């Protein structure tokens, strides 16, 4: 894959400033207090995981086409979609926005089009969702606590888990966003700069959508800040790309086999231009509230008009690890 236009900066690490001796002891003591605050918040939610989970779960049967699943996600505004047996409602798999763009041009799953469908895109997008879904699904039971849900998402590196009830029937789903919402009115005492990703992959506004999709798949980031003349002018996500391909002129091109034409459009034409940012000294509780109010899962971190990192719901979730040991 050509890396032209893609920029990465920062070391592949989380920045930490921890001294030794008494300060280190005070830091550990302060951290314990913050973890206990969030642990108490989890415990206060009566009813366990089902008190926070989405109960009216949208699912599709295994016979649903790939394009049908993508349009369902776009229609409901979801970035993950459980696949369940139409009769028993038992879960069979899960599909995400990243799976969709991986298949349509971003990565290894694109090879399915050649291997299974002889390169015929029209036939491929009408193939069953089982071709690209993840069949080994991480789940939790409906009697699980919120602490167990957080721990599972952290340990299994997933952004959401279906909740299984009697006889394996899916009865709910809980995501990073549901958990992060709980922090929205807490003053955590932790700062964005303590946990943000300092290695950021960016893209220029004239980058083709296909190149951006490939960058997301290869880097493992589902969001790319869009930078022009050292200025953050927008952000592009896997969901934005899926939404673009699932409707309008792009959809017409897709269903007529002209996917390359649809994917050649610049990301500047579909990116979110009005972006919300935070500074590295922002409290995580306030940051969670900003995410909740704006219904977004990531925020570029700006210091002195310069992009210094990015913080996501995932980063905030992982920062809670000490509260669920």
Give the separation between CA 305 and CA 229, rounded to whole angstroms: 12
pTM flag (> 0.95): no
Domains of the chain: 7-18+185-323 (3.10.580.10), 48-181 (3.10.580.10)
H or E element at residue 141: strand 140-141
Share of the chain above pLDDT 70, in %: 82
Residues 239-274 pLDDT 10s: 999 999 888 888 888 878 788 888 999 999 999 878
Is residue 88 over pLDDT 80? Answer: yes
The token pair at 2 is: 């050509």
CA Rg value for the chain = 21
Share of the chain above pLDDT 90, in %: 62
Q: Are 49 and 145 within 8 A, CB to CB?
A: yes
235 by DSSP, 3-state: which? strand
Residues 193-222 pLDDT 10s: 999 999 999 999 999 999 999 999 998 888
What is the per-residue pLDDT for 36?
46
Work out the pLDDT band at 141, boundaries 50, 70, 90.
very high
Work out the pLDDT band at 6, boundaries 50, 70, 90.
low
Q: Report in angstroms the alpha-carbon separations of 67 from 13, 57, 102, 237.
A: 37, 19, 13, 19
Side-chain-facing half-sphere of 179: CA atoms under 13 Å: 36
Q: Are 216 and 298 within 8 A, CB to CB?
A: no
The token pair at 35 is: 């973890």
Side-chain-facing half-sphere of 27: CA atoms under 13 Å: 11
Is residue 121 over pLDDT 80? Answer: yes
Mean pLDDT within 45-59: 85
């Amino acid at each position: 894959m050509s890396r032209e236009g893609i920029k990465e900066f920062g070391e592949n690490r989380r920045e930490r400033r921890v001294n030794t001796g008494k300060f280190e002891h005070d830091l550990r003591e302060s951290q314990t207090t913050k973890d206990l605050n969030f642990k108490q918040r989890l415990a206060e939610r009566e009813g366990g995981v089902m008190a926070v989970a989405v109960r009216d779960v949208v699912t599709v049967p295994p016979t649903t086409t790939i394009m049908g699943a993508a349009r369902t996600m776009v229609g409901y505004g979801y970035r993950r979609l459980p696949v369940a047996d139409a009769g028993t409602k038992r879960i069979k798999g899960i599909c995400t926005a990243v799976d969709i763009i991986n298949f349509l041009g971003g990565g290894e799953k694109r090879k399915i089009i050649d291997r299974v469908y002889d390169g015929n895109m029209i036939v491929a997008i009408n193939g069953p969702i089982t071709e690209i879904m993840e069949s080994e699904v991480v789940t939790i039971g409906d009697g699980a606590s919120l602490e167990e849900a957080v721990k599972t998402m952290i340990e299994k590196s997933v952004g959401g888990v279906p909740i299984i009830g009697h006889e394996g029937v899916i009865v709910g789903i809980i995501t990073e966003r549901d958990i992060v919402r709980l922090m929205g009115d807490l003053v955590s005492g932790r700062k964005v700069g303590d946990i943000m990703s300092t290695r950021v992959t960016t893209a220029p506004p004239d980058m083709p959508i296909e190149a951006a999709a490939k960058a997301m798949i290869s880097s493992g980031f589902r969001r790319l800040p869009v930078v022009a003349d050292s200025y953050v002018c927008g952000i592009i996500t896997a969901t934005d790309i899926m939404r673009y391909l699932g409707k309008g002129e792009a959809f017409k091109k897709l269903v007529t086999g002209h996917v390359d034409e649809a994917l050649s459009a610049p990301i500047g034409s579909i990116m979110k231009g009005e972006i919300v940012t935070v500074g590295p000294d922002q409290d995580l509780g306030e940051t969670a509230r900003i995410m909740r109010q704006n219904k977004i899962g990531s925020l570029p971190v700006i210091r002195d008009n310069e992009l210094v990192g990015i913080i996501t719901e995932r980063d905030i979730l992982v920062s809670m690890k000490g509260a669920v040991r």
